[in-house]
A = this chain, B = another copy of it.
Amino acid sequence: MALHLAWRSDAEVVIVDSLVTRRLVASVGADSLVKIGTPSARISAYEKASGRSNITFVEADARDPAAVDAVIARHLPKSVVHLAQQRSAPFSMVDQEHALYTQLNNVATNLNVVFSMTRHVPGAHLLKMGTMGEYGTPNVEIPEGPVTVSRNGRKDQLMFPRTGQSWYHLSKIFDTHNILLANKIHGLTSTDVMQGVVYGSMTDEVVDDSLATRFDFDSIWGTVINKYVVQAVLLDKLLIYGKGRQSRGYLSLYDSVQCLSLLLANPPAAGEYRLVNQIDETFDTLQLARRVARIAEEFGMRPGFERVANPRVEKEEHFYKVEHRVLPSLGFRRTKDMDDVLREIFRTVIANKARASKMSSLVAPSVPWGGRKAITSKGFRLPRDLTGWSPWEEVVEYAREPPAGSD
């Protein structure tokens, strides 16, 4: 995202990251399929490739209110793209520790961003990454905005009811509520992106390996299409959760970056809350498996299908339809056909097969969401320094200082 914005526009991009995702992935024994450089190495590679020097990296933890406040106050951004959260549903389901970590981390980071924006850049645009998983799988089309609720002859326009299926998905629902309240009481200008499942790891800006972004494929951090391709290459079979009839909305990383860029370039009106359903196409997991298997043949493989018990607690056969008009109205068009992206993924996985082989045990699901196993330890532990953190210890000093322009 940063590469795309910096390369394609005159934006000065400030990346703020604690790099905790690397450590959380390592805490369950996993790693990115492709090696990821340090931020400074990647920025150097970007500067060399592009001839530009408009990316700054700040290592900071968004859980820390003072750290967020310092960076917002210093750079006074016009837009804040908030991706700084624990982003894995299975990780949140590991045990109580991981549930607490996910929800408290995500709520705190989001509140910190919202408060600092209100304090220092009240007119700026917050582009917040949510998830289509906030909606669950209702038996009606998921609207892109509020819904009319009728009752006894009266009606009102209300938020479409959310039904999250993991502690993680709920954390994103919490963020949506907090952003709506900040919009109401402080006039926060925001775009709340309900993103579908992303696949692939390439964008046009990843011109060589030194600029590569993460490719997660283990059962906790990987998304379904990336996992299928690794399973095809490593196991010669695809692991289908249950009946394989679970439908979701998908888009490639190319298109996720395109969508976010469009939303940044076309912010809502000042003081407006805009909700966007960011998906391209809808598939069930068996349709995806067939598609992956077809492309696998081009690479000389014929993976079988193996049904495994679904570790998730979810409807396995259900209606699924998503309204998504905002992005097309802003000019969104699919960048690449899914089959072409699948071919790229196959090439990436085959090139990194030796590295993937060492992690092949991580492909099978390891975190059941329900039943008594869901509350027992899986042997996965959070890094200890992450659990010693106090969410509001740092808020005190600047909270005493009146903000600029205080009335």
For A96, give its contact among B150, B165, B376, B399 (CB under 8 Å).
Answer: B399
A205 contacts partner chain B, Cβ-Cβ < 8 Å: no
Q: Which residue of B lies closest to A159 (CB)?
A: B161
A370: chain B residues within 8 A (beta carbon):
184-186
Q: Which residue of B lies closest to A96 (CB)?
A: B115
In the assembled complex, the Cα of A166 lies from the Cα of B182 at a distance in Å of: 9
Are A396 and B97 in contact (CB-based, < 8 A)? Answer: yes
Are A388 and B390 in contact (CB-based, < 8 A)? Answer: yes
| Cβ distance A313 to chain B, nearest Cβ, rounded Å | 5
Are A118 and B375 in contact (CB-based, < 8 A)? Answer: yes
A112: chain B residues within 8 A (beta carbon):
96, 100
Cβ < 8 Å to B, chain A residues 179-219: 180-181, 184-186
A266 contacts partner chain B, Cβ-Cβ < 8 Å: no
Interface of A is mostly: mixed
A163 contacts partner chain B, Cβ-Cβ < 8 Å: yes
A369 contacts partner chain B, Cβ-Cβ < 8 Å: yes
In the assembled complex, the Cα of A149 lies from the Cα of B147 at a distance in Å of: 8
A161: chain B residues within 8 A (beta carbon):
147, 149, 158-161
For A181, give its contact among B167, B177, B319 (CB under 8 Å).
Answer: B167
Are B140 and A395 in contact (CB-based, < 8 A)? Answer: no
Cβ < 8 Å to B, chain A residues 136-157: 138-141, 143, 147, 149-152, 154-156
Cβ < 8 Å to B, chain A residues 326-382: 369-377, 381-382
A-B contact pairs, 26 of them (CB 8 A): A96-B395, A97-B395, A100-B108, A111-B167, A119-B375, A140-B152, A140-B155, A140-B156, A141-B154, A150-B150, A158-B163, A161-B161, A164-B181, A170-B178, A186-B370, A186-B371, A186-B374, A186-B375, A373-B406, A373-B407, A377-B401, A377-B402, A387-B390, A388-B390, A388-B393, A390-B390
Are B181 and A170 in contact (CB-based, < 8 A)? Answer: yes
Give A contacts to B, CB under 8 Å.
Answer: 65, 95-97, 99-101, 103-104, 107-108, 111-112, 115, 118-119, 138-141, 143, 147, 149-152, 154-156, 158-167, 170, 173-174, 177-178, 180-181, 184-186, 313, 319, 369-377, 381-382, 387-393, 395-396, 399-403, 405-407
In the assembled complex, the Cα of A390 lies from the Cα of B159 at a distance in Å of: 33
For A392, give its contact among B108, B382, B395, B396 (CB under 8 Å).
Answer: B382
| Cβ distance A393 to chain B, nearest Cβ, rounded Å | 5
Are A154 and B173 in contact (CB-based, < 8 A)? Answer: no
A101-B392, A387-B393 given; A151·B162 CB < 8 A: no
| Cβ distance A104 to chain B, nearest Cβ, rounded Å | 5
Q: Which residue of B lies closest to A405 (CB)?
A: B372
In the assembled complex, the Cα of A151 lies from the Cα of B143 at a distance in Å of: 9
Are A391 and B391 in contact (CB-based, < 8 A)? Answer: yes
| Cβ distance A102 to chain B, nearest Cβ, rounded Å | 10
Are A149 and B151 in contact (CB-based, < 8 A)? Answer: no
| Cβ distance A246 to chain B, nearest Cβ, rounded Å | 16
A99: chain B residues within 8 A (beta carbon):
111, 115
Q: Which residue of B lies closest to A407 (CB)?
A: B372
For A151, give its contact among B140, B373, B389 (CB under 8 Å).
Answer: B140
